Amino acid sequence: MAKILSIASTEILKATRQLILENAGYEVLSFSNTPRIEDLQGTGKFDLAMVGHGFRGADKRKTALALNQVFPGIPILELCMHSPEIPGADFILSHSPEHLVTAVREVLAGRRVRGFPA
């Protein structure tokens, strides 16, 4: 079972995304708000990190840097409202639960996601 680190901007989004991903068969550790590096250390190994759409661009980029420091090479899936902010990350421009699960499957399979998942 793949293990996903999910970072959302609110408690409601945190709980909703966690439920969607757990129902799809993934193990999920969720944070609301941007975690500090100290919060991430010791949390184990993850197959994917997901950064939610409710953060400012600078906060998304800062979070991606922290993720790469603690988990070098971890794939990052950015959820976007309009355009991606994290350089090199996979991203989706959708809030659909089906699109979210499809994008997670694609990234975990090693395929790039750019916009809406196929």
pLDDT for 117: 64
pLDDT for 72: 93
C-alpha to C-alpha distance for 22 and 19, rounded to whole angstroms: 5
Inter-residue contact 93 to 66 (CB < 8 Å): no
Q: DSSP letter at 112? A: -
pLDDT for 42: 81
- pLDDT (tens, 9 = 90+) of the chain, 118 residues, equals 999 999 999 999 999 999 999 999 999 999 988 777 777 888 889 999 999 988 889 999 999 999 999 999 999 999 998 889 999 999 999 878 999 999 999 999 999 998 876 5
Helix (H) or strand (E) holding 37: helix 37-40
Q: How many CB atoms lie within 10 A of CB 101?
A: 17
C-alpha to C-alpha distance for 50 and 48, rounded to whole angstroms: 7
pLDDT for 118: 59
For the domain 3-115, what is the CATH code? 3.40.50.2300
What the block records as the tokens of 45 is: 């190994």
